[in-house]
Amino acid sequence: SFNLKLLEHGEPVTESNEGRFQRAIFEKNGLKLESSGISSVDVNRNGQTVAVLEPTSDYDKAYDRVRCFTLLADNRAVVGSGFALWIYDTTSGERLRQLDGHSGAIWSMSPSPDGRYLLTGSGDMTLRVWDVNAKGDGPIEPLLSLFFAEEEWIAWTPQGYYASSPGGERLMGWHVNNGREQLASFFPASQFHKQFYRPDLIQEVLQTGSVQQALKGTGSSERITTVAENLPPEVEILSPSDASTVASSPEVTVRVGASQTGSNPVTSLQILLDGRPLNGQDGIVQFDGSSRAVNHSFHVPLVPGVEHRIVARASTAVNFGVSKEITVAYQAPSATVRLPSLYVLAIGVADYDDESLKLEFADDDARHLADVLQERSFGLFDKIDTRLVIDKDATQKGILGGLLWLKQQMTQHDIAILFYSGHGARDETGKFYLMPSDVDTSQPLVLSGVDEDQVKGILQGIPGRLLMMLDACHAGVIGGDRRKNSTSLVDDLVRELSNDDYGVIVMASSMGREYSLESPDNKSGMFTLALCEGLDGKADYDGDKYVYLNELDLYISQRMKDLTGGKQHPTTVKPATIRTFPISSIK
């Protein structure tokens, strides 16, 4: 199930709780809806048919079928078919208004308990929420649309405002026509994150019934805007001009051009090298916005024997555009191709100075993961360098020191794994903090915690591929062997780290308000247990003796369902420009 009020997954529907969920209404106050064939619905009162509801024209009757229907308040009903979705007058059978938005057959529907909204499900794989009391006489457009892909989801308004799970921004976007004989453009929701990611507004929409009222309810003075008014800039890699290039030196000059297409000027350019921002914050070239077209040349280092993937990004104040990808390879005349090095920073905090914060297995989880990687990753890497930051060593200084160690060691060719198991919390401003072992919760967290800006700032400047494994639980809601996550405790951090600004692959132990479960029998958190099992070989689905990132993600998701009975759903969010790669070897 999904909680529209909280915008998160809810409890599964079972025989014991199905009575709590609203269904279609077929009979109420003496009225009864009954199917009267394949293309109409009878409205009966006291056994007598008083009206017939027909969702399609005479021409379409031979092809259409009634799929679902429900009664509404005020002598109205809704009928969904393969072609249409209409509100009817149950006294006369007259069509009142069309609900226009689905592109497939309507298979299911349910009114809200107060009768204000209607939820429909369609063969187009979307759910739509409609205000059946909307003012006007013409077609009613959806108040809200939702799309789900396993545990990921996205909800959006017709104007483009949206909310999503950490990986949900890749599920929906906008198709923009460019005229006859021209390929259309597609812009994923993530390109509009700065302006249109508004979970507060999405929640308010269901309370107020309109985007305009929702904006007022959130205290915003902005006017309603649309995606069409805010198209991203066009950006192109001018040179090298070929899609695939072999370089003659260990550095290539990449010339980028970008131009304004919407109402917002280009304010910066940067290069994404193998999915990561080149040179972090220092690699961003700023512009004052006075020109509609900008360009810049970037000097990009190349590793011998590696085919690098290069993408240019142009940003405005509210969105960004990306270029087509090119690949550039450099093969030195006599160089031996070096395997990448693996650097592992494993942080586990169970023994807190504050007795109320103590955990059971967070320190053991960090040790276990480091041991498995040390044992199972030889042959894949030139070397494996591991640093443990455990319990009393995991102070504010110790955690920041570990992050800086990663930054100092890594090159563009290497892979880093950052594992954190311990408490996380937000302060009164909403800022997220990792909780060191000596954290003082009686004082503002800024004094003794490690805040998200510090983490993001250091990670952004680390070259190479970076994988963060995060098992952060909410301080103050510990109960037994369970550690309960706040809805937004890590979701926002996961979403930000995995976008193009940081390019970090993030594996998080749970979503929303789920508990992060621990196993006393295995003396381990469930997430780490599944993680280490997968790395140890159980995730090698294709039998090639290597465990790839996508295989590990699949194994953890399936294994956690078994271990927790479906109570905990880990999530992995990977930047679109980063390919999967092997993490462990079974040889």
In a domain, 550, yes or no: yes
What mean pLDDT do residues 439-468 have? Answer: 94
Which CATH number covers residue 396?
A: 3.40.50.1460
Separation CA 554–CA 573 (nearest Å)? 12
What would the 3-class secondary structure string for 110-157 be?
Answer: EECCCCCEEEEEECCCEEEEEECCCCCCCCECCCEEEEEECCEEEEEC
Whether omega before 55 lies within 30 degrees of 0, making that bond cis, reads: no
Range of the domain at 293: 234-330
Strands 244-247 vs 326-330: parallel, antiparallel or unpaired: parallel
Residues 68, 149 within the same domain: yes
Residues 444, 579 within the same domain: yes
Which CATH number covers residue 260?
A: 2.60.40.10
In a domain, 336, yes or no: no
Residue 15: what pLDDT? 66
Last residue of a domain, one of 330, 352, 369: 330
Separation CA 75–CA 245 (nearest Å)? 68
In a domain, 337, yes or no: no
Residues 269, 248 within the same domain: yes
What are the helix and strand counts (H, E) for the chain?
Answer: 9, 42
Q: Quote the DSSP letter at residue 242.
A: S
Which run of H or of E encompasses 187? strand 185-188
Residues 348, 462 within the same domain: yes
Q: Over pLDDT 90: what percentage of the chain?
A: 67
Last residue of a domain, one of 330, 356, 379: 330
Which distant-in-sequence residues (6+ apart) come within 8 Å of 202 by Cβ? Answer: 7, 144, 155, 156, 157, 161, 162, 163, 214
Residue 2: what pLDDT? 84
Phi/psi of residue 63, nearest 5 degrees: -115, -25
Confidence (pTM) = 0.86
pLDDT > 70? residue 534: yes
Residue 188: what pLDDT? 92
Confidence of residue 476 (pLDDT cuts 50, 70, 90): very low
Separation CA 16–CA 430 (nearest Å)? 37
Tokens, residue 173: 């976007």
Per the structure, the count of domains in the chain is 3
What does pLDDT average to over the chain?
90
Separation CA 83–CA 102 (nearest Å)? 9
In a domain, 218, yes or no: yes
Separation CA 426–CA 433 (nearest Å)? 6
Which run of H or of E encompasses 222? none
pLDDT, tens digit, 9 for 90 and up, residues 56-98: 765 566 678 899 999 999 999 999 998 889 999 999 999 999 9
In a domain, 531, yes or no: yes
Which run of H or of E encompasses 455? helix 452-460
CB 251 within 8 A of CB 302: yes
Q: Is 46 exposed, middle or buried (0-12, 13-18, 19+ CB in 10 A)?
A: exposed
pLDDT, tens digit, 9 for 90 and up, residues 134-164: 998 899 999 999 999 988 999 999 999 999 9
Last residue of a domain, one of 330, 353, 388: 330
Residues 289, 349 within the same domain: no
Separation CA 179–CA 195 (nearest Å)? 26
Residues 72, 200 within the same domain: yes
Residues 378, 324 within the same domain: no
Separation CA 130–CA 122 (nearest Å)? 13
Matching residue, tokens 């805040």: 451
Residues 24, 106 within the same domain: yes
DSSP per residue over 557-575, as a string? HHHHHHHHTTS---EEE--
Separation CA 174–CA 246 (nearest Å)? 35
Residues 460, 311 within the same domain: no
CB 154 within 8 A of CB 165: yes
Separation CA 273–CA 575 (nearest Å)? 12
Tokens, residue 413: 């060719």
Coil, strand or helix at 437: coil
Separation CA 2–CA 304 (nearest Å)? 49
Tokens, residue 30: 């003496």
Tokens, residue 337: 């191709």
In a domain, 180, yes or no: yes
CB 81 within 8 A of CB 55: yes
Residues 186, 299 within the same domain: no
Separation CA 127–CA 185 (nearest Å)? 25
Separation CA 277–CA 340 (nearest Å)? 19
Separation CA 302–CA 308 (nearest Å)? 7
pLDDT > 70? residue 481: no
Coil, strand or helix at 514: coil
Q: What would you report as the CA-atom Rg of the chain, rounded to the nearest whole angstrom?
A: 27
Beta-strand runs (E) in 195-292: 234-239, 244-247, 251-259, 268-273, 276-277, 285-286
pLDDT > 50? residue 484: no
Confidence of residue 483 (pLDDT cuts 50, 70, 90): very low
Closest of 55, 51, 60 to residue 80, by C-alpha: 55
pLDDT, tens digit, 9 for 90 and up, residues 487-513: 466 888 899 999 989 999 999 988 766
- Between 180 and 343, where is the model more confident? 343
DSSP per residue over 37-91, as a string? SSS-EEEEETTEEEEEE--S-TTGGGT--EEEEEEETTTEEEEEESS-EEEEETT
Residues 219, 260 within the same domain: no
Residues 350, 490 within the same domain: yes
**Identity (one letter) of the amino acid at 227?**
V
